Structure 1
Amino acid sequence: MTDPAIRNIVIVGGGTAGWMAASALSRTLGKSVSIRLIESDEIGIIGVGEATVPHLKLFNNLLGINEADFVRKTFGSFKLGIQFVDWLRMGESYIHGFGSMGHEVGLMPFHQYWIKAMHKGMAKKNLGPYSVNSVAALKNRFMAPGLDVPANSPLGSVAYAYHFDAGLYAKYLRNYAELLGVKRTEGKILGVELNPLSGFVDAVKLESGERVEGELFIDCSGFRGLLIEQALKTGYDEYTQWLPCDRAMAVPCANVGEPTPYTRATAREAGWQWRIPLQHRTGNGYVYSSKHLSEDEAAAKLLSRLDGEALADPRPLRFVTGLRKKPWNKNVVAIGLASGFMEPLESTSIFMIQSGITRLLKLFPERDFSRVLIDRYNDQVTFESERIRDFLILHYKATERTDTEFWNQCRTMDIPQSLKDNIDLFADSGRFFRNAEEMFADVSWVQVMVGQGIVPRTHHPLVDQMPDSDLAGFMASIENVVGQCADAMPLHSQFIAQHCRAEKVA
């Protein structure tokens, strides 16, 4: 009887996606499979993504990676959330903080009480003062969840992510994967051999003349989609009608102070600018619409807005937001940029790599490649991508800016019905219902909707069970506890120096 199990996996492309896939597959599948990764140093990697979301901690934990070692070797820092500057209108900002906000009472989330208190003048006009992450971020303070704090303290459940050098993370994971037996092959792929009967990929042909066979192929070749698109002609669904930015200009600059424990996204005339602090430098970029700004203009504006001296020439990037029609097609699974791209506004790119890998492991096939598994994978990826897409569109659509053609286009554009329904429901009475499979939790949607000026007309009726006399004290107590917790944290720079300072900071 023929062995039905997959024994040979070929990963096409390295970088963050390729080596994350190689690490997770080798860690999970062990010696039952042979894993070979093909990459070319001449082609290089995109390597822009330096900010993450808290999910990455789970991925690193799966691999058994020591956090301090990982942060130290990637020149990393910590991230409590994202600060959005000038998105609603010029001169205003808010923070999308990770983790919890306030605390719920009975069946009601905290923000429902805030809505009533805010309308009655008993609470601040924004949600920031009620989030430990948001308050600590602006005070440049950070700590990992403490084991020696009371169980009900916000300090016992601080949610955080990382900033790091993506190239160093890929190198870190390469060392990890190769120790587990992953074989790396340096070389360019010149051709893809398809099975004449099934249309599956049988092998890839290298510039050296070698023919590399496999049963399962993971396409991590970036925007090119060497297997998923160039060989299998899968097709691509664009999101550009809602996410208008299609270019980015990236440049590192020298640090001019201690690294902040948050990413900054500043709305600009034709898009937005990121600022990501690492231990050895600060990452910067201008994500923009080529219909509203030229490449030279974008480079000049970015260079004029850096905190410190530029450490390189600005590097241009082109992209099309969207998703492959079938991220898993035949015996090819596209991971990372080969699968699709959402733009880096909420740091979702590395999460989507992680999510794709995790989903593949849960639906891991045999050599017959059951259609049921493939369809379920593609349905789940599509749903997740569309929900992330809607969350990103929200930032552009919900604005009061009228100062440029770009923002006028964003403010007046039609949006997907799914997003419109969520906005209308929240604007009515502050309600939001998360589908269990989507990435962003209720607290993320609530913070961004309020931050973007969508203030609910009223609150949930159950909130009225708390007397007004108690409501004022409740809000003041939350704000006080949050402030005290933030003040109890060490400075971000102190935490890094004590636990994970890079041995050599360039």
Structure 2
Amino acid sequence: MSDRALRSIVVVGGGTAGWMAAAVLSRFLPPPQTSITLVESEDIGTVGVGEATVPLIRHFNALLGFDERQFVAETHGTFKLGIEFVGWGRPGAVHFHGFGDFGEPIDGVSPHHHWLRLRQLGDLEPIDDWSFPYAAARRGRFAANDDDLFSAPYRYAFHFDAALYARKLRTYAEQAGVKRIEGRIVDVALSGDTGFIQSVTTSGGVEVSGDFFVDCSGFQGLLIEQALKTGYVDWSHWLPADRAVVVPTSLAGPPNPFTRSTALEAGWQWRIPLQHREGNGYVYSSRFTSDERARDVLLANLCGQPLAEPRVLRFTTGHRRKFWNRNCLAVGLAAGFMEPLESTSIQLIQTAIARLIEFLPDRTFDPAIAAEYNRVTANEFARIRDFLIAHYHPSQREEPLWDYCRGMAIPDSLAHKLEVWQACGRVPLLSEESHQEPSWVAVLLGNGLIPRRHDPIVDRLSPEQLTALMQRRRAAIAEAADAMPLHQYYIDRNCRMPT
């Protein structure tokens, strides 16, 4: 161990972010070589709505050695093949963002170009018909695609109870040597020379010192903002939703293997199925509706029976001006907030932790390391921001929120993407993109943004050849999806929650 290596790391805050950080740190910096302490208070509740994920979570769980079926059972989870968007492009419209592409390229050309030409020939079936995740999702079917029988090119993620996941992570971390201290932080001591954090003190009088601090304290940002005064980049002019009313409900039927997002008058509603309940929420802009109206709209659109009183969460979309400031790294909601439209909250926790391991400092804290971390992370947030705006901006819904989003000036990076897309049906990808071309294709076409032309190489096929080829692809996808077991059956056979 180097004389300059970190000797002690303090994680402030538990929940999903805190215990994910503690678990991975204990995996790569095993105690007692490095002392890892997590400070949290049971009196402070968690947001508790981050129950939908993206496929990257499977890599995180594999890193920690979690058995997938056991993990799903213990967290009362279900499987997720993508997101169904209802009413986004216009009222009544439905499209699907699946975790997979639209099939192999044909003559080196992405298949959505062939779909564009097919559309010109009069076939108006949605692009979703060439998505295997959609074919399985609409049939309510699922199987892990590492089974020999189901080896189609698709990925999947999970819906799960975030509190149960945090509990599982805590067990892992504590068994690895992480020390947990109960208590609310009441004081943060800074060095008079460097401004670095020296220690935190709990309401019980326990002082915890450290070389490096990971702030997982949620929206309040106890360390990164309240102590270090880092500042915040506000994106609410581009993403005006600033509140969510949330409520759990009873199950209203077998769980779907997808998240549903339904556009409403001042935002959108999510529906996330677990094995024992459903998570529901209405993300909205307080500029275009009231809390009371939002609550009433959510309750009127529930499928199951409410299991608790609805509660309102307030947030500002954006991120800290620095994610890493001095000897403090903000992770999770302490770092920033992106509305959960594409289930990126836990993804951003995961990538933040992975990036910390990649740029792990020593006690000299070379500022070049933090600067590079901040540059890359800011790019990641900006790419997700653009992807979220692209759900709102093209919409033809005629309500005040949607009129605002359609008419607003958008970031230059997104304007460039849309300009190239409309000119030739291609998506220029930038550094630190979370969503690759098939995801953009699903969202842009689903919202009715049709390019002016397709790749001219597609025209080498005669109309008859193209139609026959695409019909064969569509039929093969449907046949493979029909062969899969029902989602509920797969859960019952492989990963049923404990009774």
CA distance in 1, matches of 2:124, 2:482: 19
Q: C-alpha separation between the residues in 1 aligned to 2:211 and 2:311?
A: 37
Counterpart of 2:167 in structure 1 is: 171
Question: Structure 2 CA distance, aligned partners of 1:369 and 1:471?
Answer: 59
Identity over the aligned pairs, expressed in percent? 49
Q: How far did 1:96 drift?
A: 0.5
Deviations 1:336-367 (A, max 9, x none): 00000011111000000001000010010111
Separation in 2 of the partners of 1:368 and 1:379? Answer: 20
Q: Classify the secondary structure of the residue corresponding to 2:403.
A: helix
- Distance across 1 between alignment mates of 2:320 and 2:132: 38
Q: Which amino acid aligns with 2:260?
A: R
Looking at structure 2, the residues matched to 74 and 420 of structure 1 have their Cα atoms a distance apart, in angstroms, of 40
Per the TM alignment, residue 7 of structure 1 is displaced from its structure 2 partner at its CA by 1.2
Instruction: Note the C-alpha offset of 1:300.
Output: 1.4
Matches within 5 A, 1:312-327: 312-327=308-323
TM-score of the superposition, structure 2-length normalised? 0.98
Match of 1:254 in 2: 250
- Which residue identity is paired with 1:111? H
Q: Would you say 1:470 and 2:465 are equivalent positions?
A: yes
Count matched residues: 498
8 Å CA contact retained: 2:141, 2:487: yes
Structure 2 residue aligned with 1:308: 304
Distance in 2, Cα, partners of 1:279 & 1:228: 37
Instruction: Give me the whole-angstrom Cα distance separating, in 1, the residues matched to 2:62 and 2:460.
Output: 42
Query: What corresponds to 1:277 in structure 2?
Result: 273
Q: How far off its partner does 1:397 sit? A: 0.6
**Quick one: distance in 2 between partners of 1:116 and 1:218?**
51
Q: Are the counterparts in 2 of residues 236 and 322 from structure 1 also a CA contact under 8 Å?
A: yes
- CA–CA separation in structure 1 for the residues paired with 2:202 and 2:43: 14
Query: How many angstroms does 1:469 deviate by?
Result: 3.0
After TM superposition, list the pairs within 5 Å mapping 1:372-387 onto structure 2.
372-387=368-383
Trace 1:324-363 onto structure 2 (pairs within 5 A).
Answer: 324-363=320-359
In structure 2, what is the equivalent of residue 444 of structure 1?
A: 439
Q: What residue number does 1:210 align with?
A: 206
* Aligned-partner Cα distance in 1 for 2:264–2:449: 21
3-state DSSP class of the match of 1:392?
A: helix
Assess, with a 3 A threshold, how the Cα gap between structure 1 residues 294 and 462 changes in structure 2: closer, same or farther: same
Aligned twin of 2:411: 416
* Consecutive unaligned residues in structure 2, runs of 5 or more: none
Provide the residue aligned with 1:133 in structure 2: 133
Structure 2 contact 444–450 (Cα < 8 Å) conserved: yes
Asked if the contact 1:428–1:458 (Cα under 8 Å) also holds between the matched residues in 2, the reply is yes
Where does residue 51 of structure 1 map in the other structure?
52
What whole-Å deviation, never above 9, does each CA across 1:218-245 have from its counterpart, x for those lacking one? Answer: 0000000000000000000011001010
Distance 2:51 2:327 in 1: 31
Match of 1:371 among 367, 374, 398: 367
Q: Name the amino acid aligned to 2:64.
A: L
Change (3 A) 1:76 1:55: same
Whole-Å Cα distance in 1 between the matches of residues 312 and 305 of structure 2? Answer: 19
C-alpha separation in 2, matches of 1:156 and 1:63: 26
Deviation, 1:436, is 5.2
Q: Structure 1 length as normaliser, TM-score?
A: 0.97
Deviation at 1:156, TM superposition (A): 3.7
Deviation at 1:419, TM superposition (A): 0.6
Aligned-CA RMSD value: 1.3
| Whole-Å separation in 2 of the counterparts to 1:26 and 1:299 | 42
Contact 2:234–2:317 (8 Å) recurs in 1? yes
Q: Is the 8 A contact 2:121 2:463 kept in 1?
A: no
Looking at structure 2, the residues matched to 379 and 448 of structure 1 have their Cα atoms a distance apart, in angstroms, of: 27
Q: Please identify, of 367-376 and 7-16, the stretch whose mean Cα deviation from structure 2 is larger.
A: 367-376
CA distance in 1, matches of 2:124, 2:80: 24
Unaligned runs of 5+ in 1: none
Instruction: Answer whether contact 2:132 2:152 (CA < 8 A) is retained.
Output: no
SS of the residue 1:366 aligns to = coil
Letter paired with 2:370: I
Matched residue, 1:103: 104
Aligned to 1:19: 19
Question: Counterparts of 1:88-99 in structure 2 under 5 Å?
Answer: 88-99=89-100
Conserved 8 A contact 2:288-2:400: yes
Q: Quote the Cα distance in structure 1 between the aligned partners of 2:107 and 2:197.
A: 55
Write the distance in 1 (CA, Å) between the matches of 2:9 and 2:363: 11
Q: Deviations over 1:74-107 (max 9, x none)?
A: 1100000000001111111101011121221233
Q: Distance in 2 between matches of 1:353 and 1:23?
A: 12
Partners of 2:111 and 2:28 lie apart in 1 by: 39
Which residue of structure 2 aligns with residue 480 of structure 1? 475
Q: Does 1:42 align with 2:67?
A: no
Q: Quick one: distance in 1 between partners of 2:290 and 2:100?
A: 38
